Structures are given as structure tokens and as C-alpha cells.
């Protein structure tokens, strides 16, 4: 299998990968470790940050762990450029694919597009149709499923 990390130098990490890392799931942990070891560019959307910290039962320790993971990369704000790209992707998804792309997902995908980055997610099926437009996807669980 071709190592997806060697195909790109920039990565946007989806919320689910961080959640699986916090749960200690080997595939997610190894993916983030590999990005860190290879000193690649890692980005997280502020929407990912919001999703992670919105769990109502987070302990102080869990909050520290989340912050530690997010500090390994750069947080990308949802500015006008990201918002407009997300809107474009949502419209395109509905018009050309009859798919409803949720706004948080559209923001994460827009971030990947704007940073010319590979999106790391376990939810590849939610986004694979966007490969037609150049979206690169990596599911670190793929080789295990």
C-alpha cells in the first residue's frame, strides 16, 4: 500500500480522528504521531476545536489532552474565504450530487481545499465524491477495515 503521508506535506485533521486518538485507537494515534515525526504541516479548523470542546462531560485532563493535540498544528479561523468556499461546496454537493453537506463538514473540507491539504478522516464516504474536484482524502483506518 502507498503511504498516504508521503503523498502530501499538508494535512487538515477532522474531528473524528482526534476523538479516536483520545480514545487510544491505534490507527488514529499512529496517524497523528507520523505527521508529528515527519514535521509535516498540520491544520485544524476552528470548527474542529468547537466540536471537541462542546462535549459537556469533558474533564480537565481531557481538555488538556485536546489542547495538546491541537497545539501540534495550526488552528485555521473561519474567515470569509473559508465561509465562501464552504458555501460553494455545499451548493455544489446539492446541485451535482444530491447530497447535503453539513456546514461543519463543509468548513473542514473548505479548509483542506484552501490549504491544498489532504483531509484525514474516517468518514471518507461522506466526502469521496469531492475527489472529482481535487480533494485528497486519507483514512488511517482503511488498511485495518
3-class DSSP assignment, residue 86: helix
In degrees and rounded to multiples of 5, residue 111 shows phi and psi of -60, -45
pLDDT of the residue at 2: 44
Domain spanning 8-138, CATH architecture: 3-Layer(aba) Sandwich (3.40)
State how far the Cα of 141 lies from the Cα of 87, in Å rounded to an integer. Answer: 29
pLDDT digits (tens, 9 = 90+) for 76-127: 999 999 999 999 999 999 999 999 999 999 999 999 999 999 999 999 999 9
State how far the Cα of 90 lies from the Cα of 44, in Å rounded to an integer. Answer: 20
pLDDT digits (tens, 9 = 90+) for 11-51: 999 999 999 999 999 999 999 999 988 888 999 999 999 99
Inter-residue contact 119 to 10 (CB < 8 Å): no
Which of 110, 5, 21 lies closest to 66, judged by CA? 21
pLDDT of the residue at 3: 55
Please give the residue that has the higher pLDDT: either 142 or 102.
102
Whether the per-residue pLDDT at 4 is higher than 60: the answer is no
Amino acid at each position: 500500500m502507498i503511504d498516504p503521508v508521503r503523498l502530501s506535506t499538508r494535512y487538515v485533521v477532522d474531528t473524528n480522528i482526534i476523538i479516536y486518538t483520545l480514545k487510544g485507537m491505534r490507527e488514529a494515534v499512529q496517524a497523528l504521531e507520523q505527521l508529528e515525526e515527519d514535521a509535516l504541516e498540520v491544520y485544524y479548523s476552528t470548527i474542529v476545536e468547537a466540536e471537541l470542546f462542546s462535549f459537556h462531560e469533558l474533564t480537565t485532563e481531557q481538555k488538556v489532552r485536546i489542547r495538546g493535540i491541537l497545539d501540534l498544528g495550526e488552528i485555521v479561523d473561519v474567515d470569509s474565504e473559508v465561509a465562501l468556499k464552504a458555501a460553494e461546496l455545499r451548493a455544489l454537493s446539492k446541485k451535482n450530487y444530491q447530497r447535503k453537506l453539513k456546514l461543519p463538514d463543509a468548513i473542514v473540507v473548505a479548509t483542506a481545499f484552501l490549504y491544498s491539504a489532504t483531509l484525514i478522516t474516517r468518514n471518507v464516504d461522506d466526502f469521496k465524491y469531492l475527489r472529482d474536484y481535487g480533494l485528497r482524502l486519507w483514512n488511517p483506518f482503511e488498511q485495518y477495515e
